[in-house]
Amino acid sequence: MSKFKSKIQKISNIDYAKTFYIEQLFADPKMLEMHASRIKQIYPKASDDLIRSQIDQIIIKENTFNLIMQYIVSNFKIQFDQSEVNAFKTRFAQQFNESDQNKITDISEKLITKGLVFEVISAEKNIKVDDAQAKQYLDNYYKATNNSINEFLNNKDKFSEIKEIILEEKITQWLIDNFKVYLNVKTIIHNNQNKQNN
């Protein structure tokens, strides 16, 4: 049963043998700052070179995933529930301190679409996360960061949230691994600066 009020309908079959070519990498400076901050928080002793390397990998992974998702979403028709979109908009605006209503609506609809598509792929490809996998994920996180994980282990809701995060990561990686993607990068485009770095 879907956790979303919005509805999804498949209108064509997904060709998992499809090949993609990436010639431009899109990067949002705000998101890069968020990634850098998160990496420093998790790994406070990380060197600048390690952080840059991690961010480079994130940029490539995000561009690869976005290209794949553009294709996958084209195989579906989404009927948005307006109350659900509004709830996402409220949460997104508060979380990121964003005031551009068009941008908030666009991102909210993309998040709902992604969630619906992931539910379909999870069911079709039998991609799941059990309690043991979630506990292993938390244990690895504790070993890497020495941050306490008790709040997740002792709270059913937080533990369920972690399982959803892991499932999303598993589906994302599954899609990246199952499509052929070739990099031939010529430019990096910074989304909110409208300039190209060759």
Count of H-run helices and E-run strands, the chain: 7, 5
Least confident of 89-103, 140-154, 160-174: 89-103
pLDDT confidence band for 195 (50 / 70 / 90): very low
Instruction: Identify the structural domains of the chain with CATH numbers, from first to last.
Output: 17-197 (1.10.3120.10)
Percent of the chain with pLDDT over 90: 54
pLDDT confidence band for 70 (50 / 70 / 90): very high
With beta carbons less than 8 A apart as the criterion, state whether 171 and 123 touch.
no
pLDDT confidence band for 179 (50 / 70 / 90): very high
Kindly give, in sequence order, each residue whose CB lies less than 8 Å from that of residue 197, ignoring residues fewer than 6 positions away. 187, 188, 190
Name the nearest CA neighbour of 85 among 69, 97, 101: 101
3-state secondary structure 37-99: HHHHHHCCCCCHHHHHHHHHHHHHHHHHHHHHHHHHHCCEEEECCHHHHHHHHHHHHHHHCCC
What is the per-residue pLDDT for 189?
66
pLDDT confidence band for 59 (50 / 70 / 90): confident
Least confident of 50-59, 124-133, 158-167: 50-59
pLDDT confidence band for 187 (50 / 70 / 90): low
In what order do the strands lie in the sheet containing 180-190? 19-27, 180-190, 195-197
- Which 3 state secondary structure label does DSSP give 176? helix
Least confident of 16-20, 98-102, 109-113, 122-126: 98-102
What is the per-residue pLDDT for 53?
83
- pLDDT, tens digit, 9 for 90 and up, residues 112-149: 999 999 999 999 999 999 999 999 999 988 887 778 88
Can you give the pTM of this predicted structure?
0.81
What is the per-residue pLDDT for 93?
77
Question: Which of residues 56 and 192 earns the better pLDDT score?
Answer: 56
* Structure token pair of residue 100: 């551009």
